[in-house]
Amino acid sequence: MSDEIRTTEEMNSEELNANFNAEGEYGEEQIQVLEGLEPVRKRPGMYIGSTGPRGLHHLVYEIVDNAIDEALAGYCTEIKVNILPGDVIEVDDNGRGIPTQIHHKEGISAATVVYTILHAGGKFGGGGYKVAGGLHGVGASVVNALSQWLELTVCDGREIHFQRFENGGHYDEEMKVIGTTDRTGTNVKFKADPTIFTETTVYDYDILLTRLREQAFLNAGVRIVFSDLRDPENTRTEILHYKGGIREFVEHIHKVKGYEPLSDKVIYLSGVKDDMTAEVALMWNDSYNEDVRSFANNIHTTDGGSHETGFKNALTKVINEYGKKFGYIKENQDKLIGDDVREGITAIISVKLTNCEFEGQTKGRLGNPEARPLVEDMVYQKLMYALEEDPTTAQLVMEKVNNAQKAREAAKKARETARRKSAMDSASLPGKLHDCYDKDTALTELYIVEGDSAGGTAKLGRNARYQAILPLWGKMLNVEKARIDKVYSNEKLMPVVAALGTSIGEDFDISKLRYGKVVIMSDADVDGYHIRTLMLTFFFRYMRELITNGNIYIAQPPLFKVAKRKGKKEKAKYAFSEEERDMYIQELSAEGDGTINVQRYKGLGEMDPEQLWETTMNPETRIMLRVNIEDAERADEAFTILMGDKVEPRKEFIEKNAVFVKDLDI
Ligand code: 1YM
C-alpha cells in the first residue's frame, strides 16, 4: 500500500474512503503520513512562496479556498473567517463537511488524510470542477504542516467529529466523535508556527479583507463574514456578499478610487466554451489610469497572460471598428492603439479552466493558450453589441479614446523636443547625481533620497564604488493629475529618469538600466511616506518592469537609537520598531548600570554618515524591502485617493490610515 500513496488530486471522496477501508497496515500508514509533511517544514518556501507575511496570509487563503470550492459545488452558502486572540485563524463553512468515514477497525478518517498527506488538500475530482487550489497547488495539509497546532471539526448532520494536530501535523489521537449535531459543515482553527514564520505570525486585517473581498466578488453569491476578534474592546466585522459578482468589483474599485464613471452601468460579458468559462466586466471613468485586473481560477494573475491578451486585442479591435462604423474615427485618422482605448478603464477578467498553467518568475502569468481565443472571441462578439445597445455611453467612450490619442501624440512631440535637448540622454546625467565608479549592474545601487541634507549624509556614508546617490529637489509633480507629456518636463522626476537611463512609458528599455538596485530612502515620517508613495506610483505607471523585475527597494532606516553611556564608553543599538526599542532598553538595563538614552530619528539627516551606513546602507547589516507589484498596486491606490479630486474617498482614507497621514497637509 505504501507505494500506492499517490497524489489524491485524482481521487474522489469515495475512492479515497475505499482506499482506507481496504485491509492494510494502518500503523505503518500513519508513519508514512507523518513523514509526508516533513518536506513542507524543511522547505516551506517551495509550498507557500515565503515564510514572511505573504506566506503567513497564504495559509488562510488555502483553507478558505476549500470552503469556496464547496460553495461553488453548490453545497455551502456561508463562510466565516475569524482572526481570534493570539492570531489564531478560524474558518467555518456550512457545506457537507469533509468526509470523515473511517476504517472500521483501526480507522484513519478521510479528513485526516486531507490534513496529513501532501497534496491531499485540493479537490478530489469526481463531479464539479477544480477551481480553487492556491498558488502552488498546496492545500490543507501544507497549512497543517506549518501550524503550531490545528483543530479540525466536521459536522455531518448527525455527529461532531474532531481531531487536533500539533507541531506540524502530528497527532496522538485519531479523529473522534465528540457530540451530536443536526448541522453540517467544516471548521478549522490553526495557529501558524512561529518557529517557521519567524518574522511574524500577526495577520494584517486589510490584507485578508482585500483578498476575501476579491474572492467574494469573483464568486458571485458566496457570503463571507470576516471578523477581527483579536482585541475584545475593538472588534470589526465585514460581510462580503456580492450578487453582482465582478460587476460590483468594478463599481467598488471606482468608489474606492473616487473615479467618476462615464456611464452608470458596468458592461458585463460572459461566455462558455467546452469546459471553460470567461467573464469580463468593464467601465470607463474620468481618470487617465488603466486598471485591468485578470484572474484565472480565482487567482490574481498580476502579470496578465493569455486571457488578458485576448481581452486587450478584442477591445482595441472593437473600439476601432465601432469608431469607424459610426463616424467617430475620421478617414485620415491613425488607428487607436491599446493605450488609447484603455485610458481610464477599469476592467476585471475572470476565467475558469480545468487546468491552469502559471508561468513566469513569480508564476503570475497565465500560460494556457486556449484562454486567449476564449476571451478574445467572446469580447469581440459581445462588446460591439453592448456598445450599439447603448449609444450614449459609446459616444462618451469614443470622445475619451480620441482625446487619449491626441494627448499621446502631444506627448510624443514633447518627448522628441526633450530628446533634442538631450535631457533624456544618459550622456547628460543630472547635476546632483553622485554617481558610483562601478558600472556592473550586478553590484550597483542608486539611492533616491529626498532633500539635500539627507543626500549629503548619504553621500558621505556610502560606498562610492557601487552606491550612487540622487537627491531629489523641487516640487513633486502630482502624477495623478498629469498626463505623461507633463512628466517629460518635470524637474523632480526627470533626473530620476535620466539617472536610471531606461527612459519611460513606451520608450522604456530595461537593458539600459544603469543600476541593479534602485532604493527609495525616505524619512520614517509622514512626508517620507508621501514621497515613497509618489515614487512607487511613478514607477508603477511609467516603469512598471522595474517593479516586476525586482529592481525597486525601500530602505529601512531605524526609528530609534538606544544607547547606554558608562563613563566615556557608549554602546548603541538601533531599533526599527517600538517593540524592538523596548526590548533593547530592557536588554541594556539588565546589563548593569549606566545611563540609557533613547533618541528618536525624525529624519535621515539626524544620523551621521557612519550611522546611516551601518544601519541602512551597508549590505551586510541593512534591512531592505524589495517592492513587489502588489505593494506598488497598493501605493498606486493610496496615491490615487490622496491626490485625486474627490474629497469623500480621501477623507475616508485619511480616517482609516490616520497614523500615517495625520500631519499631511492636503
Ligand atoms: C473550513 C474549510 O475544507 N470544506 C470542505 C472540504 C471538503 C468538502 C466539503 C467535501 C468535498 C467532497 C465531498 C468532494 C473536502 N473534501 C475533501 C475530500 N472548509 C472545507 N467542505 N464531500 C465534502 O470533493 O467530493 C477534500 S476538501 F477529499 F475529502 F473529499
Residue 331 CA, ligand 1 centroid: distance in Å: 59
pLDDT at 14 over 50: no
pLDDT at residue 106 in the model: 46
What are the start-end ranges of the H helices in 452-543? 452-461, 484-487, 493-500, 526-542
DSSP 445-463: EEEEEESHHHHHHHHHHS-
Instruction: Check pLDDT > 80 for residue 427.
Output: no
Q: Which residue has the higher pLDDT, 106 or 397?
A: 397
Q: Is 184 in the pocket of ligand 1 (CB under 6 A)?
A: no
Atom of ligand 1 nearest to the CA of 126: 25
> Is the pTM above the cut of 0.85?
no
Find out whether the beta carbon of 188 lies less than 6 Å from any atom of ligand 1. yes
Say how many Å lie between the CA of residue 115 and the centre of ligand 1. 11
The DSSP annotation for 577-631 comes to SHHHHHHHHHHHHHT-SSEEEEEE--SGGGS-HHHHIIIII-TTT--EEEP-HHH
Is residue 240 in contact with ligand 1, taking CB distance under 6 Å? no
- Mean pLDDT: which of 282-286, 482-486, 658-662 is highest? 282-286
The residues pairing with 450 across neighbouring beta strands, listed in sequence order, are 472
SS3 content of the chain, % helix, strand, coil (to 5): 40, 20, 35
Calculate how far, in angstroms, residue 374's C-alpha sits from the geometric centre of ligand 1: 30
The confidence score (pLDDT) of residue 402 equals 96
Is the CB of residue 641 below 6 angstroms from any atom belonging to ligand 1? no
Whether 267 lines ligand 1, by a CB cut-off of 6 Å, is no
- Given ligand 1 and candidates 63, 66, 75, which is best to mutate, with the most ligand atoms within 8 Å of its CB? 66
Residue nearest to atom 2 of ligand 1 (CA): 67
What residue owns the CA closest to ligand 1's atom 3? 66
Could you identify the atom of ligand 1 that is nearest to the CA of residue 76? Answer: 21
Name the residue among 282, 364, 270, 350 with its Cα closest to residue 315: 282
The HSE-up count of residue 399 (CA atoms within 13 Å, CB side) is 8
Q: Is the pLDDT of residue 422 over 70?
A: no
> 107-111, 134-138, 452-456: which range is least confident on average?
134-138
CA 199 to chain CA mean position, Å: 18
- 545 has a pLDDT exceeding 50: yes
Give the whole-number percent of the chain exceeding pLDDT 90. Answer: 58
Q: Is 70 in the pocket of ligand 1 (CB under 6 A)?
A: yes
Which of 292-306, 615-629, 634-648 is modeled with the greatest confidence? 292-306
Q: What is the mean pLDDT of residues 576-589?
A: 90
pLDDT the model gives residue 480:
53
CATH of domain 246-408: 3.30.230.10
Looking at residue 139, its pLDDT comes to 85
Tens-place pLDDT, residues 586-603: 998 888 788 889 988 878
Q: Name the residue with higher pLDDT: 555 or 29.
A: 555
In this structure, the residue with its CA closest to atom 8 of ligand 1 is 98
Read off the pLDDT of residues 48-84 as tens digits, 9 standing for 90 and up: 888 999 999 999 999 999 999 999 889 999 999 999 9
Torsion angles phi and psi, residue 90, rounded to 5: -125, 125
Residue minimizing CA distance to atom 16 of ligand 1 = 98
Highest averaged pLDDT of the listed ranges 156-165, 422-431, 515-524: 156-165
Structural fold of domain 560-618: Dna Ligase; domain 1 (3.30.1490)
Residue 143, ligand 1, Cβ within 6 A: no
Mean pLDDT for 110-115 is: 89
Rounded-to-integer distance, Cα 473 and Cα 492, Å: 6
Q: Mean pLDDT lowest for which of 18-27, 220-229, 638-647?
A: 18-27
pLDDT at 477: 53
112 lines ligand 1 (CB under 6 A): no
pLDDT at 21 over 60: no
Write the residue with the smallest CA distance to atom 10 of ligand 1: 98
**Is there an atom of ligand 1 within 6 Å of 521 CB?**
no
Whether pLDDT at 112 is above 80 = yes
**Residues contacting residue 274 through CB under 8 Å, at least 6 positions apart:** none
SS3 547: helix
Q: Do residues 205 and 213 touch, judged by C-beta distance below 8 A?
A: no
Between 658 and 217, residue with greater pLDDT: 217
Q: 119 C-alpha to center of ligand 1: Å?
A: 13
Give 28 Cα–ligand 1 centroid separation in angstroms: 25
The span from the CA of 290 to the CA of 195, in Å, is 42
For residues 463 and 474, give the distance between their C-alpha atoms in angstroms, rounded to a whole number.
26
What are 500-522's pLDDT values in tens digits?
Answer: 999 888 789 999 999 999 999 98
Q: Which atom of ligand 1 is nearest to 64's Cα?
A: 2
Counting ligand 1 atoms within 8 A of each CB, the residue from 65, 79, 96 with the most, and so the one to mutate, is 96
Does 506 or 217 have the greater pLDDT score?
217
What's the pLDDT at 30? 41
Which CATH architecture group holds 429-555+627-657? Answer: 3-Layer(aba) Sandwich (3.40)
Could you report the per-residue pLDDT of 373-398, keeping only the tens digit for each? 999 999 999 999 999 999 999 999 99
The answer on pLDDT for 649 being more than 70 is: yes
Range with lowest mean pLDDT among 317-321, 422-426, 524-528, 558-562:
422-426
**Separation of CA 406 and ligand 1 centre (Å):** 55
Segments making up each domain of the chain, as ranges: 41-240, 246-408, 429-555+627-657, 560-618
The predicted-structure confidence for 440-494, as pLDDT tens digits, reads as follows: 999 999 999 987 778 889 999 999 999 999 998 765 555 555 555 566 667 778 8
Which atom of ligand 1 is nearest the CA belonging to 188?
A: 1
CA of 114 from ligand 1 middle (Å) equals 9
- Spatial strand order of the sheet with 467-472 comes to 467-472, 445-450, 517-521, 552-555, 624-626
Q: Is the pLDDT of residue 417 over 80?
A: no
Residues 288-336 pLDDT 10s: 889 999 999 999 999 999 999 999 999 999 999 999 999 999 999 999 9
Distance 70 CA to ligand 1 centre (A): 7
Active-site residue set:
450, 523, 525, 527
Q: Is the CB of 12 under 6 A from ligand 1?
A: yes
Q: Which residue carries 496522538 as its cell?
A: 172
Ligand 1 atom 11: residue of nearest CA: 98
Say whether pLDDT at 16 is over 50.
Answer: no
pLDDT at 661 over 50: no
Residue 114 Cβ < 6 Å to ligand 1: yes
Instruction: Check residue 10 and give its pLDDT.
Output: 37
pLDDT score at 311: 98
- Check pocket membership of 81 for ligand 1, CB cut-off 6 A: no
pLDDT given for residue 646 in this prediction = 72
Atom 19 of ligand 1: nearest residue by CA position: 67
Residue 594, phi-psi category: left (phi > 0), alpha (psi -120 to 50), beta (remainder): left
- DSSP, collapsed to helix, strand or coil, labels residue 640 as helix
Q: Is 378 in the pocket of ligand 1 (CB under 6 A)?
A: no
**63 Cβ below 6 A of ligand 1:** yes
Q: Which residue has the higher pLDDT, 415 or 183?
A: 183
The alpha carbon of 111 and the centre of ligand 1 are apart by a number of angstroms equal to 8
Q: Output 638 or 175, whichever has higher pLDDT.
A: 175
Average pLDDT in the chain: 84
Helix (H) or strand (E) holding 226: strand 223-228
Over 70: is that where the pLDDT of 129 sits? no
CATH H-level, domain 41-240: superfamily: Histidine kinase-like ATPase, C-terminal domain (3.30.565.10)
- Give the residue-averaged pLDDT of 332-361: 93
Stretch among 17-26, 65-74, 317-326, 562-571 having the lowest mean pLDDT: 17-26
Is the CB–ligand 1 distance for residue 150 below 6 Å?
no
- Whether residue 585 contacts residue 569, with contact meaning beta carbons closer than 8 Å, is answered with no
The pLDDT of residue 474: 64
C-alpha distance across the termini of the chain, in Å = 68
- Ligand 1 centroid – CA 67 distance (Å): 8
